[in-house]
Amino acid sequence: MARRIGVLALQGGFAPHKQALEELGLASSEVRTAAELAEVDGLVLPGGESTTQLRLLGRHGLDAALDAFVRSGRPVLCTCAGLILAAQKVSSPTQRSFGWLDVGVTRNAWGRQVDSFIARDDRERLQLVFIRAPRITEVGPQVEVLATYRGEPVLVRQGNTYGATFHPELTPDRSTHQAVFSGQGLPA
């Protein structure tokens, strides 16, 4: 079990993730520097605007430290824009990403802000909040699909890295955070 979970706090919806972690009894801290990143045992890359997050990561000199952190095997949850940063391939438009998850994603593919919606996954286990969410369009052989919506992957895992197209932090259900950071699986 991770001792302290960091939440990347350069831009986007990091505060609800901190609240979700604290509701699970997990210590959390905001991460804005490589030194703060070095102090945590797990990490959340929140939603927000992925191109802005990339610029801020570069401005704060976090690219190499973030890449090393994820590759170290510590648990990482990437939601919405965080998934875009973690993907192998990004389209509509293309952009740089880190490639930690062998998936292809299409940005804002579930619609514009006004098209945001709430649904349940195909197995009725998870509440899904989609806000300008990416769609996972390709899944590599090492990627495990953990949840789908209308047959499409919405929660995936490759090793220590989880990617969600939706916002689990905006629901009362904490099972996604718990699965990633406490080692307990998703509900059956």
What residues are annotated to the active site? 80, 167, 169
> What is the Cβ-side half-sphere exposure of residue 170, based on CA atoms within 13 angstroms?
19
**Tokens read off for 13:** 């919806």
End-to-end CA distance of the chain: 21
Q: What are phi and psi of 102, to 5 degrees?
A: -80, 70
Is residue 12 within 8 Å of 81, Cβ to Cβ?
Answer: yes
3-state secondary structure of 61: coil
C-alpha span between 33 and 80 (Å, rounded): 22
